[in-house]
Structure 1
Amino acid sequence: MNKFGIILSHTYLTRVKTKSFLITTAITILFILLAGNVQSIMHSFGGSNEQEIAVLDETGGVVPALKENLQAGEREMSLHSYEGTETEAKKDVRDGTFDGFLKITSNEDIPQGEYYSMQGNPSPVSERLQQALQPVKLSRAANNAGIDPAAVQQITSSVVFETVALQEDAKTAEEMNSARGLVYVMLFLLYLSVIMYGNMIAMDVANEKSSRVMEILVSSAPPVTQMFAKIAGIALLGLTQFGAIVVVGYIMLQSKQDQLTGGVFQYFGLQGAGAGTFIYALVFFLLGYLLYATLSATLGSLVSRTEDVNQLMAPVIYLIMIAFFIAIFGLSSPDNMLVTVTSFIPFFTPMLMFLRVTMLNVPIWEIVLSFGLIISAIIILAAAGARVYKGGVLLYGKSNSLKDVKRALQLSKKE
């Protein structure tokens, strides 16, 4: 155990002091801080978000109705009746007096608009103005045709449509949306961590072999101890990095709770999510890491040059990519048979079973079975991987083929 602790601490301390670890952690934390203060930054650089729009109403009666329709809009917009000419209004837009200029004309008593801005392309402002002008146009057209405006409103209003679940414990639409966001975050984090930390484990083993440090380590500690100490050391490194990011993110959310309510934070399930969801996320994340980390360490022991690591790590990348793509498909169809069947494949379980557990009411026996399968896979892979690692650390020379697994097993039997 003493040797295990020494290798673990050496792996952790060596990696945690590297410039790449410190820079990536700092950049991620900086990105979180910028995302949380984006509104303040935009205000400091661009002043108010309110759009100042000059309106030249040649019909003489559209502006009041237009202002009333815009009151329900999310975008802040201030309309100013313009008394000058069209040429003067365009000049004011170029000079920065107004953000845009809306010209309202009439075609057989039906209002129509032209919006002028510096960019000229369709934008959220022009689309909102068009939406606000649409009810005015419908009202005018109904009056011209002698149709009651109330009848027009009834005809154009959305149909009343509800979806009712016959299953008593079925999740609501709000719970599904919250779960969908959390699953997406979980998929993204697991995908990145497997690629980043799995490759780090394999590179660490290959680097020690290329520098002949492995020969000293083999004589001082069993290869199996080295393997699991490195997995634990890199896991501790990942927890350190994610822990720092989570702490900064939590502090920012608490300090700006009122400003960050809703929007992207609501979509990603950071509001109203139950504790059980986060427990499942943590358990599946750790199981997924252990499974892929063991496989990465095994493959890393087969190479003696860091240049060969990426080629042997390709199967790991393919597995996590397949799981990721199936899970992305499952976000819109979590009860699909493909998602259900593949959720019991150990290499896909961390993503797909978590998706199903979070978005559906999965029978408890399926959850227990998935846990049993992935834990069994980890144990089998660890036992087989330990044998391959034991012989693989003694392999030197160019190695870029999985055929070296056989050579590594043969060497491990001679030990």
Structure 2
Amino acid sequence: MSNFWTILWHTYWTKIKTKSFLITTIITALLFVLLANITTIIDAFSNEETPKVAVIDETNSSIQAIERIEAYTSEEVILESVQQSEAEVDEKVISGEFTGALYLTSNGENLISGEYKSLSIADTTISSLLQTALQQIKTELTAESINLSPEQLQTLYAPVSFETTALEENAKSQEELSQARGLVYVVLFLIYFAVIMYASMIANEVATEKSSRIMEILISSTPPVQQMFAKILGIALLSVTQMLILGSIGFIALRESMSKLEGGWFEAFGFSNLSLGILVYAAIFFLLGYFLYATLAAFLGSLVSRIEDVQQMIMPMTMLVVVGFLLSMYGLSNPDTTFITIASYIPFFTPMLMFLRVGMLSLPVWEPILGMAVLIVTTIILAIFGARVYRGGVLMYGRSSSYKDIKKAIQLTKKEK
């Protein structure tokens, strides 16, 4: 057992001191700080001059187009009436004197229309604002032509009163769903990237030791099964260390900028009302998902003796994670469909889909517990089978051709006995 802990800590300390680990942690931490202060950064770049738009008004003076547009655009755009030719105004836009030019015309029925010109149409902020204003003016003019009063027009365009009510007992409200959706979305991304990154790290670790022939020395002193689980737990400890570092930095960054985030996207996506229950479920399904895929990655990595073959060997495992993530993205808007419910009990999809359902729906306690049981049983079965493959796989050298090598690895295990 002492060799087990030796391999575990060796795996942990070797990985934690690598440049890739340090660089990844630093870059991710900086990204967390950037996201926490995104409002401040956007505001810093938004302190530009108010866009200035030249207006050539060829409508009937009774329409008072410019005054009406200013009423709808508020102070977001400065409108300046010009009495010059279209070519002269276009030249001023090109020279930068104006951000753009708005040409207003009307037909015989006093219906207004416009054309907006600027150096580029990539930025649609101003054009969309002006188009919305003209649409409102057109509505007003049409109402005036059929003698509708402002009160009648307001009644006509008032939004319909519409509410959604869930009859199921303990069902979540629309507000609770909106908040849960944002939190679940973020946690799903964490599960997705963590499983792919750390499971791949285990496979690469095993392949690296085989390629350097260190494995032959380890086999003589430590049973292969102990090696496999020592590496899995070593990388797990590494992932916990990295997440604690990033989580602490993210928490501090969010706490410092909390006042600016209140009432914005931070609150809209549910990050101001973190549920302890959801966080516990997130931790449980993350750990169970990690051990499931880590065990799979360990024995797949033992089948190859060259680092170049690792990605090809673990590609099916990666595709399972990707499929699970894509299903969870679909499930964010349809969490209670039969398809998502059934898929949430398929072990390789359970970490994401069951957590999605827990976060979005009011499930009976037995469902997430059953999902955990499915993951635990599958991981045990995979560990028993994987240990047999690992024991023979670490003795195989040469280019790995296909998954038929799993059969060869099991045969080597039997011979070893």
How many aligned positions are there?
411
Distance 1:225 1:407 in 2: 21
Give the structure 2 partner of residue 389 of structure 1.
Answer: 390
2:360 partner letter? M
Deviations 1:351-404 (CA, angstroms, capped at 9, x unpaired): 111111111111111122111111111122222222222222122222232222
Q: Secondary structure at the match of 2:259?
A: coil
1:351 partner letter? M
Distance 1:247 1:44 in 2: 26
2:156 partner letter? I
Give the structure 2 partner of residue 112 of structure 1.
Answer: 113
**Quick check: 1:52 aligned with 2:55?**
no
Q: Secondary structure at the match of 2:112?
A: strand
1:94 partner letter? I
**Quick check: 1:306 aligned with 2:307?**
yes
1:390-405 equivalence runs, <5 A = 390-405=391-406
* 8 Å Cα contact 1:287/1:350 also seen in 2: yes
Distance 2:94 2:39 in 1: 26
2:323 partner letter? I
1:75-86 equivalence runs, <5 A = 77-85=76-84
1:2-81 equivalence runs, <5 A = 2-41=2-41, 47-48=47-48, 50-59=50-59, 60=61, 61-71=64-74, 77-81=76-80
Deviations 1:314-337 (CA, angstroms, capped at 9, x unpaired): 221122122222222211211111
Q: Which moved more, 1:88-97 or 1:135-144?
A: 88-97
Give the structure 1 partner of residue 196 of structure 2.
Answer: 195
2:321 partner letter? I
Return closer, same or farther for 1:31/1:98 CA change in 2, 3 Å cut-off: farther
Give the structure 2 partner of residue 225 of structure 1.
Answer: 226
Distance 1:282 1:86 in 2: 67
* 8 Å Cα contact 1:308/1:399 also seen in 2: yes
Give the structure 1 partner of residue 215 of structure 2.
Answer: 214
Distance 1:39 1:97 in 2: 30
* 8 Å Cα contact 1:303/1:400 also seen in 2: no
Q: Secondary structure at the match of 1:340?
A: helix
- Offset at 1:122? 6.5
TM-score by length of 1: 0.90
Give the structure 1 partner of residue 99 of structure 2.
Answer: 99
* 8 Å Cα contact 2:50/2:78 also seen in 1: no
Q: Secondary structure at the match of 1:202?
A: helix
Deviations 1:23-66 (CA, angstroms, capped at 9, x unpaired): 22222233333334445545556642743334444555233332
Give the structure 2 partner of residue 353 of structure 1.
Answer: 354
2:14 partner letter? T
Give the structure 2 partner of residue 339 of structure 1.
Answer: 340
Distance 1:362 1:409 in 2: 41
Q: Secondary structure at the match of 2:375?
A: helix
Return closer, same or farther for 1:165/1:86 CA change in 2, 3 Å cut-off: farther
- RMSD value, Cα: 2.4
Q: Which moved more, 1:164-173 or 1:395-404?
A: 395-404
Distance 1:382 1:406 in 2: 16
- Offset at 1:273? 3.0
- Offset at 1:348? 1.1
User: Post-superposition, which runs of at least 4 consecutive aligned residues in structure 1 deviate over 6 A?
Assistant: none
Deviations 1:68-118 (CA, angstroms, capped at 9, x unpaired): 3234xxxx6132333553555544433434333333333332232222222
Distance 1:79 1:58 in 2: 19
2:320 partner letter? L
Return closer, same or farther for 1:268/1:302 CA change in 2, 3 Å cut-off: farther
Distance 2:352 2:236 in 1: 18
Name structure 2 gaps, 5 residues minimum: none
Give the structure 2 partner of residue 259 of structure 1.
Answer: 260
Distance 2:119 2:37 in 1: 28
Q: Secondary structure at the match of 1:115?
A: strand
Return closer, same or farther for 1:44/1:106 CA change in 2, 3 Å cut-off: same
2:33 partner letter? L
Distance 1:92 1:43 in 2: 29
- Offset at 1:313? 0.8
Q: Secondary structure at the match of 1:81?
A: strand
Name structure 1 gaps, 5 residues minimum: none
* 8 Å Cα contact 1:29/1:248 also seen in 2: yes
Give the structure 2 partner of residue 291 of structure 1.
Answer: 292
Q: Secondary structure at the match of 2:106?
A: strand
Q: Secondary structure at the match of 2:77?
A: strand
Q: Secondary structure at the match of 2:200?
A: helix
Distance 1:286 1:131 in 2: 50
Deviations 1:294-327 (CA, angstroms, capped at 9, x unpaired): 1110111122222222222122112212222222
* 8 Å Cα contact 1:182/1:269 also seen in 2: yes
**Quick check: 1:372 aligned with 2:373?**
yes
- Offset at 1:339? 0.7
Distance 1:384 1:157 in 2: 65
TM-score by length of 2: 0.90
Distance 1:244 1:51 in 2: 43
Q: Which moved more, 1:111-120 or 1:265-274?
A: 265-274
Give the structure 2 partner of residue 409 of structure 1.
Answer: 410
Distance 2:96 2:31 in 1: 32
**Quick check: 1:172 aligned with 2:182?**
no
Give the structure 2 partner of residue 131 of structure 1.
Answer: 132
